[in-house]
Amino acid sequence: MLGAWSRKDPTVPLAATGSGFPSAARPKPLLDCATSVFGHPHRAPSRSRATGPRTPGPTLDESDPTLKAVTYHGTHDVRVDNVPDPVIEHPTDAIIKVTSSGICGSDLHLYEVLGPYMDEGDILGHEPMGIVEEVGAEVSHIAPGDRVVIPFNVSCGHCFMCDQGLMSQCETTQVREYGTGAAFLGYTKLYGQVPGGQAEFLRVPQAQFGPIKVPEGPSDDRFVYLSDVLPTAWQAVEYADIPDRGSLLVLGLGPIGEMSCRIAQQRGVEQVIAIDLVPERLERARAHGVEVINLEAHDDIPGLVRAQTDGRGPDAVIDAVGMEAHGAPIGKLAQRMAGFLPDAVAQKVIETVGFDRLSALHLAIELVRRGGTISLSGVYGGAASPMPLIQMFDKQVNMRMGQANVKRWIDDLMPLVTDDKDPLGVESFATHHVPIEEAPKMYEVFQKKQDNAFKVVIKP
């Protein structure tokens, strides 16, 4: 089995950097709801309303009324708006000047189907890095001028869940109004509607814990994926629980799927197979030694995969596709219909009927060998999406899933991203670096998989 997290004992405090916890961490009483942690969501107050102690930084131009941010305006309608500059609202906040910010497959779910949980003007983006501008009085591990990556999870580092490395379930930032886990940057009401990082400046809540300090020197592309892609892919491989000499099949060769393949190879998995339907993505993975299968070029995918895996199927399958899988007409219809309904009604639909496009997940269940493991990193959202329970039970399938616990995996990843040899190939991972003005166009290009778009990094 692949190495497990080295820090199993949650009572042992971790170091204050990397995936560590502040040494003075003490569990605090839970807060009532996310808004008490984040202040009022998505409408940042003007700088003159800043309250509480703070350490001012050197460079923010307080008179600049034209800070830009990528904002949500409806299905397929993302714009760049001028927004008020964010300010320190809590002593645990920090402000960063964003230098790189990824567009993620999760953002595409907002662009396409999760509109009922968004408001016009919400600032998008959860994969930022940049330079610290100022910090609140309770933020001590970073200072103005530091180079930092911001995890997409907003997590406190000192609650019951964070103590176990389950930062995506942080009890300080759980969104109790919707009964969901930890808040995250730039996402839906289900995740706290926290203003996101596809912007020139970002307020980072829970900054006494979240920001990851990275060294000066190498390009942003070395580090920016520590915010999401790398820990998500690392967790996907970890949760896949691949036995020694075992086989892994990855569904979906977007950034998450492809990085999962690379990490599995890096960790010694000998047989990595992957399925997608975009020729350029298949080619990218093939160039990295992955056995690739084009979903659309074969009638009997399970038969083909079994033939490659001793007749049994792979020991583990990672689903890196999620709720908008190709080849699920009924789910697609439900998602389309929800798009025409008023938000409150659409939310009811999502929460009560089968809403996900399940073809990839169902294929994962079909493909995995009996007694094998499915690791689910693709995001699903329907509360009543039908699952083939008899097949899952009969095959004795194990399943692990969830949003990545970003900081839990940073100690494992940091040596790889700082290695001069760049073993995970992060330097050349992105296909597009664009100024913020081009973000709306790039959402469309990325979603339609045009122009070989694979990973887009905004340079605000």
Answer for which of 228, 258, 315, 356 binds Zn ion (CB under 5 A) is 228
Quick one: 188 exposed, middle or buried, by C-beta within 10 A (0-12, 13-18, 19+)?
A: buried
Quote the least distance from Cβ 169 to Zn ion, whole Å.
8
Residue in 159, 259, 278, 442 binding Zn ion, rule: CB under 5 A: 159
Name residue 128's beta-bridge partners: 101
Question: If you ran DSSP here, which 8-state letter would residue 217 be given?
Answer: S
User: Token pair of 100, please?
Assistant: 């790189």
Q: What are phi and psi of 111, to 5 degrees?
A: -65, -30
Residue of closest CB approach to Zn ion: 104
Interface characters, 73-112, with Zn ion (x: CB under 5 A) = -------------------------------x-x------
Q: Does 260 bind ligand NAD (CB under 6 A)?
A: no
Q: Which residue has the tokens 């959402």?
A: 443
Q: Tell the burial category of 6 from Cβ atoms under 10 Å away from its Cβ (0-12, 13-18, 19+).
A: exposed
127 scored as a contact of ligand NAD (CB under 6 A) = no
Which parts of 93-122 interact with ligand NAD (CB under 6 A)? Answer: 104-106, 108-109
Closest CB 57 distance from ligand NAD, rounded Å: 30
How far apart are the C-alpha atoms of 156 and 94, rounded to whole Å? 13
Q: Site for ligand NAD (CB under 6 A): how many residues?
A: 33
* In the complex, minimum distance from the CB of residue 306 to Zn ion, in angstroms, rounded to a whole number: 33
- Least Cβ distance, residue 196 to Zn ion (angstroms): 10
162 binds, among ligand NAD, Zn ion, none (CB under 5 to 8 A by kind): Zn ion
Binding mask 218-247 for ligand NAD (x = CB under 6 A): ----------x---x---------------
Contacts of 140 (CB under 8 A, 6+ apart): 208
Closest listed residue to residue 49, CA positions, set 84, 100, 98: 84
Name which of 169 and 232 has its Cβ closer to ligand NAD: 232
> How many Å apart are CA 330 and CA 51, to the nearest integer?
50
Query: Does 34 participate in binding ligand NAD (rule CB under 6 A)?
Result: no
Closest CA to 423 of 279, 236, 239, 268: 268
Which three-class secondary structure string do you get for 374-408?
EEECCCCCCCCCCCCHHHHHHCCCEEEECCCCHHH
Asked if residue 188 binds ligand NAD (CB under 6 A), the reply is no
Per CB under 5 A, does 172 bind Zn ion?
yes
If one asks whether residue 256 binds ligand NAD (CB under 6 A), the answer comes out as yes
Site membership for ligand NAD, residue 255 (CB under 6 A): yes
Interaction partner, residue 325 (ligand NAD, Zn ion, none; CB < 5-8 Å by kind): ligand NAD
Q: Does 198 bind Zn ion (CB under 5 A)?
A: no
Instruction: Name the residue among 70, 132, 66 with its Cα closest to residue 103.
Output: 70
One residue of 37, 95, 159, 251 binding ligand NAD per CB under 6 A = 251
- State the binding partner of 403 from Zn ion, ligand NAD, none, CB within 5 to 8 A by kind: ligand NAD
172 binds, options Zn ion, ligand NAD, none, Cβ within 5 to 8 A by partner type: Zn ion
Q: Of 173, 183, 165, 197, which Cα lies nearest the Cα of 44?
A: 197
**186 makes contact with ligand NAD (CB under 6 A):** no
**Number of Cβ within a 10 Å radius of residue 185:** 30
For residues 92 and 271, give the distance between their C-alpha atoms in angstroms, rounded to a whole number: 45
- Rounded to whole angstroms, the Cα distance separating 3 from 148 reads 27
| Helical H segments across 5-91, by residue range | 34-38
CB of 350 vs ligand NAD, minimal distance in Å? 15
Return the one option of Zn ion, ligand NAD, none that residue 377 interacts with (CB less than 5 to 8 A, by type). Answer: ligand NAD
User: Which residues of this protein are in contact with ligand NAD, per CB under 6 A?
Assistant: 104-106, 108-109, 228, 232, 251-257, 275-278, 281, 295, 320-322, 325-327, 359-360, 377-379, 403-404
Catalog residues that contact Zn ion under the rule CB under 5 A: 104, 106, 155-156, 159, 162, 170, 172, 228
